[in-house]
Amino acid sequence: MRRRGFITLLGAVAAWPIGAFAQQRLPRVGVLLYGRAVPSGDLQIAAELARIGYVEGRNIAYEIRGAEGDITRLPPLARELAALRPDVLVGSTAQIAVALFNATREIPIVLTLVSDPIALGLSTSMSRPTRNVTGFTISSLSLAAKRLEILHEVVPASSKVAYLWAPQNPSAAFYKSRVQQAAEALDIKLVSLPLTSEADIVGAFAHADEEQATAVLTEADTLTYRLSGSIVDQCLIRSLPAMHSWSIEVRNGALMSYGPAEPENNARAAVYIDRILKGTKVAELPFEEPTEIKLAINLRTARSIGLALSPAFIMRADEVIE
């Protein structure tokens, strides 16, 4: 009995540290969001990781922080996440990228959406990242000008275009420069409408009215995306044709968009996270540009503002909302 009891006790003691050790060794992914912190089940990146075999609590854990739409909270939240020493940090947009990079130069960072990593100082090379950051770009510098060109194609008589942009974006100056160059080539005057919060929208459109702008271009930014509902409302009130960045905005009532397919980057980012967790170095994971750029149009919105789109233009669209 004594021997059997000792063996049982030994087995229990031996099993306890192994279980605890396994729990401690769960790979952890830190996620920084511009909006509110959500459960991992609501994260697209977690869904993509689940598709390749990662189940929360079994072989992965998440630490999620959200800035509640307050850009000033990003740096301290990034430092808080870095202090937890996760295996990988994940975020999107230039503001989050810079906050994470400033918080750590050691923990691998995977960005699902970022404009120009070299211009932001995150790397000196696209093909072989030179620091602890890699990910997927949105080619915004080239797309910014292309969006204006497509908008001009739709409303060629428009000589003044209201340009909604977010000056707090670290890439704002690069975007604005490209759009200005395209505007000059098309003989268009840009009406600059900087936005820092939703409170700026009414005043911005009032200025657009004063300048007699006849079309609207919104820059690709987290802020303009979050405010797209209010922007769409203002455009509908004035029957202004507008170009946005994301097809989801078109599904929510915007006239048209031209940009990357949003889910694609998350799926590719999940593969990068998997490779990092399995030992691949960041330097071996090049920054990649989108493989698909989508033109989306909303015919209901076009009809509501009295805009006739040519059959040829509609045929070019990758997504048409009837």
Q: Per-domain residue ranges for the chain?
A: 25-137+262-284, 140-260+293-321
**Local confidence band at 141 (pLDDT 50, 70, 90 cut-offs):** low
Q: How many CB atoms lie within 10 A of CB 66?
A: 17
Residue pLDDT, tens place only, 9-63? 444 444 444 444 444 579 999 999 998 999 999 999 999 999 999 999 999 999 9
Interhelix angle 140-154/172-185, rounded to 10 degrees, is 40
Q: What type of residue is 259? A: G
Residue 33 · residue 222 · CB < 8 Å:
no
| Least-confidence region, from 7-16, 158-167, 189-198 | 7-16
Write out the E strands in the chain: 28-33, 61-66, 88-91, 109-114, 133-137, 160-165, 189-194, 215-218, 242-244, 256-260, 293-298, 319-321
Nearest to 196 by CA among 69, 34, 37: 69
Say which range, 194-203, 214-223, 255-264, 274-283, has the weakest mean pLDDT: 255-264
At 112 the three-state DSSP class reads strand
Superfamily of domain 25-137+262-284: Response regulator (3.40.50.2300)
Tell how far CA 127 is from the center of its chain: 21
pTM here is 0.79
Name the class of domain 140-260+293-321. Answer: alpha beta
Beta bridge partners of 191: 162
Range with lowest mean pLDDT among 21-25, 196-200, 217-221, 250-254: 21-25
At residue 3, the pLDDT reads: 46
Which residues, 6 or more positions from 179, have their beta carbon under 8 angstroms from its beta carbon?
144, 145, 148, 163, 190, 217, 219
SS3 content of the chain, % helix, strand, coil (to 5): 45, 20, 35
pLDDT tier, 262 (very low <50, low <70, confident <90, very high otherwise): low
Q: Do domains 25-137+262-284 and 140-260+293-321 have the same CATH topology?
A: yes
Average pLDDT, rounded, for the chain: 90
pLDDT in tens, 71-128: 899 999 999 999 999 999 999 988 999 999 999 999 999 999 888 898 889 999 999 9
